[in-house]
Structure 1
Amino acid sequence: MNTDTKRHIDSARQVLVGVVPNPTSQIDQITNALIYKFMDDMDQAAIKAGGDPSFFVGDLEHYAWTRLMDARMGNQERMNLYSEALIKFSQAKQLPELFRGIFKSAFLPYRSPETLGLFLKEIDYFDYSHPEELGNAYEYLLSIMSSQGDAGQFRTPRHIIDFIVDVVNPTKDDKVLDPACGTGGFLVSSYKHILEQHDGKDDLKKKEKPLTPDERKKLMANFEGYDIDPTMVRIAQVNMYLHQFKNPKIFQYDSLSSDERWNDKFDVILANPPFMSPKGGIKPHSKFSVPSSRSEVLFVDYIMNHLRPKGRAGIIVPEGIIFRNDEGYRQLRKNLVEDGLYAVVSMHNSLFKGSKAGVKTSILLFDNEITKQQTEILFVKIENDGYALGATRRALCNENGNKPEWCPKHSDMPNVKDILNKWNTGEKVENKLAVYVEKSKIAENGDYNLSGDRYRITTDYTNAKWPMVELGEVAEILKGSAITKKDTKLGNIPVIAGGQEPAYYHNESNRNGEVITVSASGAYAGFVNYFTIPIFASDCSTIQTKDEAIASTKYLYTVLKAKQEDIYGFQQGGAQPHVYPKDLRIIQIPLPPLEIQEQIVKELDSYAGIIAGAKQIAESWKPRIDIDPEWEKVKLGDILSFIGSGATPLGGQEVYQTEGILFIRSQNVLLGECDFSDAVFISDDVYEQMRRSKVQKNDVLLNITGASIGRCAVYIEDRKANVNQHVTILRCDKKILPLFLMNIILGKTVQDNIWAVQGGASRQALNYQQIRLFDIPLPPLTTQKQIVTKIEDERKIIEANKKLIGIYDQKTKEVIAKL
């Protein structure tokens, strides 16, 4: 898509955002205007070719776009004409049924003639003679519609759609369905994928054949989409239409409660169905294989039931499908393992951004032909996808045609695609991202858990020097005994429950000697700890060696602690995660001779001591300035050349971009430093509109609202930036150094003053007048420089300690890996 097209889409949305703030409503308005314009474009093209117009004839001739945009027409008259036209279109028999349906609920939701005039001017740029560019423009428009509804409708990132389509690989002869199609992203991506298979580009072996007219005609009839939401149906229809589908087969249909289309079968099904169920659950018809009222269970069951014998599918599912123990989920997983599932791709939880971010998802891949030849299922991870893991998903590079997802340095996706493609042919790849598990292993305890981490921990040591044993063979693993705080008696025995620290204390123990604990429930379920004092084990599992002469408890703790993240991966359940003893028992442990165990413990103890010492230094250090009572005291306002903050741009988060001018928010301002890892960006136009919030190098930035109030840092970047309303710019005059002022503000005196004047936790806001009145000590500039140099020298030592922690964490992992 060229930059002009993108700019006009952005501009159209910018015009609308003040009067139509809802992103979905913006798309409705842009859709209505585009279709209006394209009907006139097609009429004009017919006239130029010597034919007759077919849209703006008879009673619609008066409303032709070319007349609407006549420069002699005033904006009020233009708005009246446009509003009348929207009503007329829904009843005009000369319009195709698709267009009449689109305009059926069309209306103008604002009464500003000037706004409409500016909006239509942006739409006038687009021309139906370039349909591919229009399709790309519409996809771009849909990609920035990031709001989610209460139905769990998480918009699928474009690069994830394309990835799934590439792996499933639909062909020109396949009949393709998306039973919860939303905006039609999977269908459009599949269509483009098939066209690329026949365009002769990147065809080194010269095997690609152009599509014949008959094949292309058949192809256009091979795509179907269903959605329960009429707005999504309308948007998907337009999306398909703009990609050359004259009669897109997108239907308003409830895939779970209606059964009229139950007998339709497909070669390829691709979907990201809704994750959430209404209160009381779904009331499905009776033809499903798995009885359930949960939408995610029913959709996966639906897809399995609608694949042809050689069918293929790619489905995005929430974590409940992967490991929840309810009967419906277990039965569904059993069906998956026994019939068609060949790979599970686990994705990190930043992939779905927006108000409900943090949704952990996986991709289930089906191929009924592949699974006939294989006894294993592949589990593979996408931990990095080329975009920053923060809320804005900023691209980490602009290589590969601005597709960072295909950059091997920043993304696992090229590796994962290669692993999957080879697995499709039966070839295994040795890679830390992949683990192959026998179906019998998955089935052995009856819960058919599809969490790759559960099996990955048992196969990490494939090249181990020492024999491998299950933890349950060498250690006794027991559940704790629940005790509430009111049942405890005064004493000094720690009660170990679900957290990282003792929950409370009691006067008796139920475990003595060396003991390992693993928290059983809550946010820290799976946390591994070690005690040599008596404890009361409550909401935790305990692990103690069966024989210290074979496996020392301290050694077992050392190995388990090194696998802390993997053990967190055993968590099951949503609102209240649990880690169960049965999962701990099957962890594979390398078992060297006792003297080797002792050497390993001694070495890792020394590393742990270094890490603990470095953490203590890093966490306890605070810059300190000894205030000399002889120093001059001034008001902060008297030593600033400028004080000001910004605002959220008009349109809020909807105008944020993945590149452009840095836009600094309170989460980017930390204690003494800035962190732009999850930064957002704005356009040059927005930057120029927000003149008072422009940041200069060496400005002091101070958070003035919310829980982060009082955090302060110096902006040291050599790039343009703005701040929002939660961050104030303090621009120093020549009497004070920015770094000195920052450290004074971070000191106890000013911090106490901040909390005193802003009214405490219930209010949490500072105004300019309060800031200007802060008392600031002002020593001579030479003294300021000496103080800043000393603090910065100390800060370098702290950074070195933080680096040391990382080095020795890695050393610990390397020692365990060598086993």
Structure 2
Amino acid sequence: MLTFDVKRKINTLRDILVGKVPDPKAQVEQITIALIYKFMDDMDIEGLEFGGTRQFFTGEYEKYAWTEIMKPENSGQQRAFLYAEGIEKMATNPNLPQLFRDIFRGAYIPYRDPDALNMFLKEVSDFSYDNSEDLGNAFEYLLSIMGSQGDAGQFRTPRHIIDMMVEIIDPKKNETILDPACGTAGFLISAYRHILAQNKDEDGKSTLTADDRKRLTKNFAGYDISPDMVRLSRVNMYLHHFTKPKISEYDTLTSEEKWDDCYDVILANPPFMTPKGGIMPHSRYRVKAKRSEVLFVDYIAEHLNPTGRAAIIVPEGIVFQSANAYKELRKYLVDDGLLYAVISLPVGIFNPYSGVKTSILLIDKSFARLKDEILFVKLNNDGFDLGAQRREIEGSEIPEIIRIIQKYHADLEPQTADNDILHHPLVTIASKERVAEQDYILVGERYKVDKSLDSTYPVVPLSDICEINAENKNPTLAFGDDEFIYIDISSVENGTGKVDFSNKIKGTDAPSRAKRAVKKGDILFSTVRPNLKAYGYVEREDCDCCVASTGFAVISAKSMVLSKYVYYMLYSEPVQTQLSSMMGKGAYPSVNQKDVSQIQIPLPSLSIQEDFVAELDSYQKIIDGARQIVENYKPSIPISSSWEVIPLLNLCENLDSKRIPITSSDRETGDVPYYGASGIVDYVKDYIFDEPLLLISEDGANLLARSTPIAFSISGKTWVNNHAHVLKFNNIYTQRFVEFYINQVDISQYITGAAQPKLSQANLNKICIPCPNIEVQEEIVRAIESVIHIVEQNKRLIAIFEQKMADKISEIWGEKQ
């Protein structure tokens, strides 16, 4: 187990290097080389203590031994010289195993600061290991903080996701195991540990024989195209008792040398990014493609033994994109009896390296052929939040995911009849026939639609009751040099349906996307990121002068349905569920006209529709009125010229010196608000303030933009970082008076810096406040606070009537409230 002391020392090594070697991967390599270097000398010393001789540092290489380098009589410059020279000579040291010579080949010190290098070597000298397992644990921690290889589309797989995949696949001691894009060998090490754990008796002692262990270390193989990754992977394997790790520098996708090598188990998180111009694969792939993610999945499927199993992390393009190669790959996996399950992973699982959406494909060439269906499982909570820091949280669904899949895998019937699985909230099961009908799309939500469309009224597609994009209009021909109103995506407000008709341009200047004719009562449905609900309802009488972007589907109601009814139903949860299964998962997920026409909604009688629309319209009017108050009220103090003008410095005590910033990685999660320039940014365990205070932003774009208040009062136990000034007042009414005043006046003259606006403490002190006597301050503050109370009531009113609208829409769907 990794100790806190070792973890601290590794962090210290990185801190020493960060100014000289900014690249995290290069830091890992430097620390790895140093630890291996010292580890070899430790083994030599151990041999000497047992009456033997040096194994590695002998003859002309003895002067480069760690103990020789670190002798007290050597100066820092001498140590730096010996170590740097020794690093470069180890690649030709005949006393080293070939693996170690390979590790040191091309190694060098990328900086020549003897003081920094001497500090680094002294810190390495403090490492003490009883066996290589301890070093292996430390090395894994080092790899875990290495960061992203995002330029190649590679992202370090979280350890708990690796372990989940290994637990599901359940590799055995006699099986061959491959990772064809092994990186630092995380999957291989996890599989090795899994096998060790599965082969212990009741007392926890290993039941593996010497022959088992020997065979086990020969059964693991890894490929990687990067020599740096191969080096790190070999070290990781060696430190976990693989004396001759089978890690090859190999281009999995274009080389044929190992094409005939097949394995019992393959585990991988292959690169998602394809080089510019695509990949030029050989002709032996089943699926003709140039995309790396397609070729990797094809490669894995084709390199499993007849009873082989695999778990592969793939980007969302694999599971839903309509391009021929993607569809052909999915068809191959389903129709040839390879794929049996898909695990949908949370969007932020690779944070902070990437926000890419991914899934796990589970392949079993024996089991999948027995099934007539595909199991879809959705992992929502992996035990960590989805923010940049990925903090640990309660409620991980991983143990339940493993249980479900293992239970499903034990059922050899063509269709499972287990109610525990069939009705599990994380599970969707679809027949292979239905998957084929849907272009082999491997998104579980697509097959949940029927469950959500359970209404007391007939459920019909929009194509039956509406026309989609019924009429186009050419602005150049229709308007020429005259102006027309162009409705683009930005003209419709997300979530409210408000349409801005102020964007006027000449017909001859119209963009190519200006094509959709619009009339009163039409619905403008944004097909790009429809989850943002930019759905506009056209109330305008005169629409002859309006043209909408092709980014909208223009929905026109037929006679059997009210347009406003359709508009409201588009906001319903079942419709949103349908849309989530239709649209892609990239940065700009979208749907097409065919998708929109297939959206299904309940169709009650016209009289019921009329009552429904009237009720929701009445709720919407209340919401709009309340929103006007909330959005337009700004506290304002009427300034009198008779008031004394006092520098802020003389009204309060500045407590900036007591602020303590904490890096996100060092924060201990708790209930205490942690404040920054614009408000709460986190919650921590401890506090530094416990009193009423006024915070004023010290830096950030909001100092000039003023989109949110730059002054805000806090109270109780709090922690403040160094991005907000901390002011203490003797009187709470003075504090609130200053807060309202600062938020209403222009202070740009006190702001410095264009790229990064800043309000220094010196300039803050120069701000002058017109101050009446304390009685007037209290009167003004009480009056403003009474209005703020009304504004808060209106916010509550909005929430209440928005819920009433949602409940009424759910009622149409037949959902109980």
**TM-score, scaled to structure 1:** 0.83
Task: Give 1:114-193 correspondences, 5 Å limit.
Answer: 114-193=115-194
Q: Which residue of 2 aligns with 1:421?
A: 406
Q: Which residue of 2 aligns with 1:729?
A: 725
Q: Which residue of 1 aligns with 2:275?
A: 278
Distance across 2 between alignment mates of 1:325 and 1:645: 59
Q: Which residue of 2 aligns with 1:561?
A: 571
Give the 3-state SS of the residue equivalent to 1:675 in structure 2.
Answer: strand
Q: Which residue of 2 aligns with 1:706?
A: 701
The answer to whether the 8 Å contact 2:472/2:517 transfers is: no
Q: Which residue of 1 aligns with 2:369?
A: 372
Q: Which residue of 1 aligns with 2:525?
A: 518
Q: 1:526 to 1:484 in 2, by over 3 A?
A: farther
Among 299, 304, 307, which residue is 1:302 paired with?
Answer: 299
Q: Give deviations 1:518-546, integer Å, cap 9, x for gaps.
A: 22346878744444556556523244555
Q: Give deviations 1:318-345, integer Å, cap 9, x for gaps.
A: 2222222222222222222323222222
Distance across 2 between alignment mates of 1:124 and 1:259: 45
* AA in 2 matched with 1:704: D
CA positional deviation for 1:488: 5.8
Give the 3-state SS of the residue equivalent to 1:657 in structure 2.
Answer: helix
CA positional deviation for 1:715: 5.4
Distance across 2 between alignment mates of 1:143 and 1:77: 33
Task: Give 1:781-796 correspondences, 5 Å limit.
Answer: 781=774, 784=777
Task: Give 1:728-747 correspondences, 5 Å limit.
Answer: 728-732=724-728, 734=730, 738-747=735-744
Q: Which residue of 1 aligns with 2:449?
A: 457
The answer to whether the 8 Å contact 1:270/1:313 transfers is: yes
Q: Give deviations 1:258-294, integer Å, cap 9, x for gaps.
A: 1111111122222221111122111111111121221
Q: Which residue of 1 aligns with 2:312?
A: 315
Task: Give 1:539-558 correspondences, 5 Å limit.
Answer: 539=550, 540-544=552-556, 546=558, 548=560, 552-558=562-568
* AA in 2 matched with 1:257: T
Q: Which residue of 1 aligns with 2:440?
A: 448
Q: 1:165 to 1:326 in 2, by over 3 A?
A: same
Q: 1:119 to 1:509 in 2, by over 3 A?
A: closer
Q: Which residue of 2 aligns with 1:775?
A: 768
The answer to whether the 8 Å contact 1:157/1:352 transfers is: yes
CA positional deviation for 1:231: 0.8
* AA in 2 matched with 1:560: L
The answer to whether the 8 Å contact 2:456/2:814 transfers is: no
Among 632, 638, 648, which residue is 1:636 paired with?
Answer: 648
Q: Which residue of 2 aligns with 1:479?
A: 469
Task: Give 1:222-237 correspondences, 5 Å limit.
Answer: 222-237=219-234
Q: Give deviations 1:17-58, integer Å, cap 9, x for gaps.
A: 122221111101100111011112222333334433311222
Q: 1:111 to 1:766 in 2, by over 3 A?
A: same
1:239 is aligned to 2:239? no
Q: 1:91 to 1:715 in 2, by over 3 A?
A: farther
The answer to whether the 8 Å contact 1:478/1:543 transfers is: yes
Among 619, 622, 627, which residue is 2:634 paired with?
Answer: 622
* AA in 2 matched with 1:132: E
The answer to whether the 8 Å contact 2:266/2:300 transfers is: yes
The answer to whether the 8 Å contact 2:263/2:305 transfers is: yes
Q: Which moved more, 1:757-766 or 1:559-568?
A: 757-766
Among 626, 637, 659, which residue is 2:667 paired with?
Answer: 659
Distance across 1 between alignment mates of 2:257 and 2:19: 43
Q: Which residue of 1 aligns with 2:60?
A: 59
Q: 1:437 to 1:26 in 2, by over 3 A?
A: same
Give the 3-state SS of the residue equivalent to 1:268 in structure 2.
Answer: strand
The answer to whether the 8 Å contact 1:615/1:802 transfers is: yes
Q: 1:524 to 1:758 in 2, by over 3 A?
A: farther
* AA in 2 matched with 1:211: L
Among 671, 681, 696, which residue is 1:675 paired with?
Answer: 681
* AA in 2 matched with 1:632: E
The answer to whether the 8 Å contact 2:646/2:771 transfers is: yes
Q: Which residue of 2 aligns with 1:2?
A: 3
1:438 is aligned to 2:436? no
CA positional deviation for 1:695: 8.1
Task: Give 1:15-94 correspondences, 5 Å limit.
Answer: 15-94=16-95
The answer to whether the 8 Å contact 1:76/1:113 transfers is: yes
Distance across 2 between alignment mates of 1:665 and 1:79: 47
Q: 1:760 to 1:237 in 2, by over 3 A?
A: closer
Q: 1:336 to 1:607 in 2, by over 3 A?
A: farther
* AA in 2 matched with 1:584: V
* AA in 2 matched with 1:443: A
CA positional deviation for 1:444: 1.9
The answer to whether the 8 Å contact 2:91/2:105 transfers is: yes
Distance across 2 between alignment mates of 1:818 and 1:291: 47
CA positional deviation for 1:517: 3.6
Distance across 1 between alignment mates of 2:659 and 2:334: 53
Give the 3-state SS of the residue equivalent to 1:186 in structure 2.
Answer: helix
CA positional deviation for 1:317: 1.7
Distance across 1 between alignment mates of 2:747 and 2:475: 39
Q: 1:309 to 1:558 in 2, by over 3 A?
A: farther
Q: Which residue of 1 aligns with 2:511?
A: none
Distance across 2 between alignment mates of 1:216 and 1:809: 64
Q: 1:442 to 1:185 in 2, by over 3 A?
A: same
Q: Which residue of 2 aligns with 1:753?
A: 747
Give the 3-state SS of the residue equivalent to 1:41 in structure 2.
Answer: helix
Task: Give 1:407-418 correspondences, 5 Å limit.
Answer: 407-408=394-395, 411-418=396-403
CA positional deviation for 1:127: 3.1
Distance across 2 between alignment mates of 1:117 and 1:281: 46
The answer to whether the 8 Å contact 1:526/1:571 transfers is: no
Distance across 1 between alignment mates of 2:230 and 2:489: 50
* AA in 1 matched with 2:216: L
Q: Which moved more, 1:279-288 or 1:638-647?
A: 638-647
Give the 3-state SS of the residue equivalent to 1:225 in structure 2.
Answer: strand
Q: 1:117 to 1:368 in 2, by over 3 A?
A: same
Q: Which residue of 2 aligns with 1:690?
A: none
Aligned residues between the structures: 771
Distance across 2 between alignment mates of 1:283 and 1:49: 56
Q: 1:763 to 1:236 in 2, by over 3 A?
A: closer
* AA in 1 matched with 2:572: A
Give the 3-state SS of the residue equivalent to 2:137 in structure 1.
Answer: helix
Q: Give deviations 1:692-746, integer Å, cap 9, x for gaps.
A: xx988636241423356553444556355532xxx24243464785554333322
Give the 3-state SS of the residue equivalent to 1:309 in structure 2.
Answer: strand
* AA in 2 matched with 1:281: G
Q: Which moved more, 1:8-17 or 1:417-426?
A: 417-426
Superposed CA RMSD in Å reads: 3.9
Q: 1:484 to 1:47 in 2, by over 3 A?
A: farther
CA positional deviation for 1:94: 1.0
Q: 1:105 to 1:696 in 2, by over 3 A?
A: farther
Q: 1:285 to 1:509 in 2, by over 3 A?
A: closer
Give the 3-state SS of the residue equivalent to 1:153 in structure 2.
Answer: coil
Q: Which moved more, 1:358-367 or 1:533-542?
A: 533-542
